[in-house]
Structure 1
Amino acid sequence: MNSEKETFQSKNYISKSLFYRFSQFVGFMLGARFFVAALLTFALYVSTFFLFNQDETFRNFVFDFKVHGIIFCTVLTILAGGIINQFYDLEKDHIAKPFRTRIQSFIKQKYFLYAYLGLSAISLGVAWLISHNVFVFFLVYQFFMWFYSHKLSRILILNNLTFVSLTLYPFFGMMVYYETFSKKVFLMAVFLFLILLCIDIVKDTLTKSVDKAFGYTTIPNYFKTKSTRTILISLLIITMAVSMKIITRTGITSFMAYYFVGGLFVMILCIYLLLKSTRKNNFLTINILRLWVFVGIIAMLLNGIESKL
Structure 2
Amino acid sequence: MKKKPIFYRISQLVGFLLGARIFVAVLLTFALYVSTFFLFNQEESLRDFVFDFKVHGIIFCTVLSILAGGIINQFYDREKDQLTKPFRTKIQNFLKQKYFLYAYLILVAISLTTAFLISQRVFYFFLIYQFFMWFYSHKLSKILILNNITFVSLTLYPFFGMMVYYHTFSGKVFLMAVFLFVMLLMIDIVKDILTKNADKIFAYTTIPNTFGTHNAVNVVVALSVLLFTVSMLIINNTGIHSILPLYFAAGLFVIILSVYLLLSSVKKSNFIVLNIFRIWVFVGIIAMLLDGIIERF
TM bucket (normalised to shorter chain) is over 0.9
Would the alpha carbon gap of residues 89 and 96 (structure 1) be closer, same or farther in structure 2, given more than 3 Å must change?
Answer: same
Over residues 126-166 of structure 1, what are the superposed CA-to-partner deviations in whole Å (9 max), with x where a residue is unaligned?
A: 00000000000000000000000000000000000000000
The answer for the alignment partner of 2:13 in structure 1 is 25
Aligned pairs (5 A) from 1:177-192: 177-192=165-180
User: Is 1:137 paired with 2:120?
Assistant: no
Question: Aligned equivalents of 1:277 and 1:155: distance in 2?
Answer: 30
Superposed CA RMSD: 1.2
Over residues 165-217 of structure 1, what are the superposed CA-to-partner deviations in whole Å (9 max), with x where a residue is unaligned?
A: 00000000000000000000000000000000000000011110100110000
Question: Aligned equivalents of 1:277 and 1:231: distance in 2?
Answer: 17
The answer for the alignment partner of 2:253 in structure 1 is 265
Question: Aligned equivalents of 2:157 and 2:267: distance in 1?
Answer: 31
The answer for the alignment partner of 1:244 in structure 2 is 232
Question: Aligned equivalents of 1:41 and 1:118: distance in 2?
Answer: 20
What is the aligned counterpart of 1:224 among 205, 212, 217? 212
User: Is 1:301 paired with 2:289?
Assistant: yes
User: Is 1:76 paired with 2:71?
Assistant: no
The answer to whether the Cα contact below 8 Å between 1:50 and 1:301 also exists between their aligned partners in 2 is: yes
Displacement of 1:229: 1.3
Over residues 199-246 of structure 1, what are the superposed CA-to-partner deviations in whole Å (9 max), with x where a residue is unaligned?
A: 000001111010011000001111122211110100011000000000
The answer for the alignment partner of 1:10 in structure 2 is none
Over residues 236-291 of structure 1, what are the superposed CA-to-partner deviations in whole Å (9 max), with x where a residue is unaligned?
A: 11000000000002456400011000000000000001002566110000000000
The answer for the alignment partner of 1:7 in structure 2 is none
Give SS of 1:231's match: helix
Letter in structure 2 aligned against 1:142 = Q
The answer for the alignment partner of 2:185 in structure 1 is 197
What is the aligned counterpart of 1:280 among 254, 260, 268? 268
The answer for the alignment partner of 2:108 in structure 1 is 120
Question: Aligned equivalents of 2:212 and 2:96: distance in 1?
Answer: 39
Unaligned stretches of 5+ residues in structure 1: 1-12
Would the alpha carbon gap of residues 277 and 223 (structure 1) be closer, same or farther in structure 2, given more than 3 Å must change?
Answer: farther
Letter in structure 2 aligned against 1:57 = S
Q: Mark the structure with the bigger radius of gyration.
A: 1
- Number of residue-to-residue matches in the alignment: 296
The answer for the alignment partner of 2:163 in structure 1 is 175
Question: Aligned equivalents of 1:140 and 1:160: distance in 2?
Answer: 18
Letter in structure 2 aligned against 1:259 = Y
Stretches of 4+ moved more than 6 A in 1? Answer: none
Question: Aligned equivalents of 1:217 and 1:250: distance in 2?
Answer: 40
Provide the identity percentage. Answer: 71
The answer to whether the Cα contact below 8 Å between 2:183 and 2:227 also exists between their aligned partners in 1 is: yes
Would the alpha carbon gap of residues 105 and 291 (structure 1) be closer, same or farther in structure 2, given more than 3 Å must change?
Answer: same
Unaligned stretches of 5+ residues in structure 2: none
The answer to whether the Cα contact below 8 Å between 2:72 and 2:137 also exists between their aligned partners in 1 is: yes
Displacement of 1:54: 1.7
The answer for the alignment partner of 1:254 in structure 2 is 242
Letter in structure 2 aligned against 1:155 = I
What is the aligned counterpart of 2:26 among 30, 35, 38? 38
The answer to whether the Cα contact below 8 Å between 1:229 and 1:277 also exists between their aligned partners in 2 is: no
Question: Aligned equivalents of 1:252 and 1:132: distance in 2?
Answer: 42
